[in-house]
Each structure stands twice: as C-alpha cells, then as structure tokens.
Amino acid sequence: MKRWIKRIFFTGFWGSLALAWIVIGLFYYQASRPVNENNQTIIFEIQPGMTLKQVAQELSRLGLIRSPSAFQAIAYIQDKQKQVMVGEFSLSPSMPPSKILLRITSGKTVLYPVTIPEGYRITEIARLLHSEGLADQEVFIRQTQDENLIRSLGISADNLEGYLFPETYHFSKFT
C-alpha cells in the first residue's frame, strides 16, 4: 500500500512539473511570435520618463506586440527592464517581441539628416534645428555657450561659434 501511494505521489509530482513546463513553453512561444507578417513600418516614440509598463501598453495598443505582460516578462527575463532608451524607433508588426525589445534597448533610433549650410551662425543653426523639430532654440544656444561642455571637447573658446562645420549631420529626437 505504501509503495502505491509513493508511486502516485511521484507520478503526480513529475506530471505536474512537466505540465507546468509545457504551459510555460506555450506561453513563451505565443508571446515571442510576431503579431503578423505585415512589414509596414511604424515610428514608435518613447518619451522621457516612460516606464516599461507604459511602453509595453503603447506597443500593444499600436498592434506591435500581443501582450504587454508577456513583453514585460521577456524584458525581465533578459534583464533589460531598465535599459529602455528614449527616442523614435522604426518597428513593424512582423518583428518578434525580442527583436522589438533589442531595438528599443540598443538605442537604434530613427535618424534625421540636417544640412548646415556654410556661413550659418549658431543662432541660424538653432533656428534650423528647431524648424526640423530636433532641438529647442534657447537650449541649443545655451549648450553652445556651456563652459563645461566646451572644455570637455578640448576647445579653448567662450562658445562653439565657428566649430559647427557646414556638413550633413544625422540627429535623433531627444538628443
């Protein structure tokens, strides 16, 4: 009789454990699949101060992931819950959640080309960047006069006038 009880207990234990692993595996499989095969690109913006939960909810609302909870679980499993970057990201419903997570934690943001014409002064460059939606004019001008920033660049001048060369630069939002 005792042997029979032990056998039932061990069979039940191992059976429950196997069932739990199957359920976890099915959950992970379902959570790691892309939403669909639509390759349409969506520009997804992460604002300063957004939490992983808010990001996951917005990704779900836009149809980029199936489950906000599963996305957060994947982020925690990969220890990336605090590595979400600010910026705009090019994403698609055909991307698996792990690739979306990699994209928003690696800093691969959308870049916008801006050409600074020859002869532009700092105020004109600030106006140009502001018109492209890439910088606040006053903040940009203040930064070009920041002694600590100028010193960190190894420049001995009062401001960066003349150091911003005519060129096409690529900026991301929130930089």
Report percent pLDDT > 90 for the chain.
Answer: 49
Average pLDDT of the chain, as a whole number: 87
Is residue 156 pLDDT above 70, yes or no?
yes
In this prediction, what percent of the chain has a pLDDT beyond 70?
Answer: 93
DSSP conformation class of 86: P
3-state secondary structure of 116: strand
For residue 49, the tally of other CB atoms under 10 A from its CB is 7
Pick from 81, 90, 86: nearest CA to 46: 86
- Cα torsion 94, 100, 103, 104 to 10°: value is 140
Q: Is 120 exposed, middle or buried (0-12, 13-18, 19+ CB in 10 A)?
A: middle
The per-residue pLDDT for range 16-64, each reduced to its tens digit, is 878 888 877 766 666 667 777 777 899 999 999 999 999 999 999 999 9
The rounded distance, in Å, linking the Cα atoms of 46 and 51 is 9
pLDDT score recorded for residue 107:
83
Mean pLDDT over residues 113-117, rounded?
92
The per-residue pLDDT for range 59-104, each reduced to its tens digit, is: 999 999 988 988 998 899 889 988 999 999 999 999 999 899 999 9
In this structure, how many other beta carbons lie within 10 angstroms of the beta carbon of residue 126? 21
pLDDT for 30: 67
pLDDT average, residue stretch 126-155: 91
Pairwise CA distance, residues 42 & 90, whole Å = 6
pTM for the whole thing? 0.71
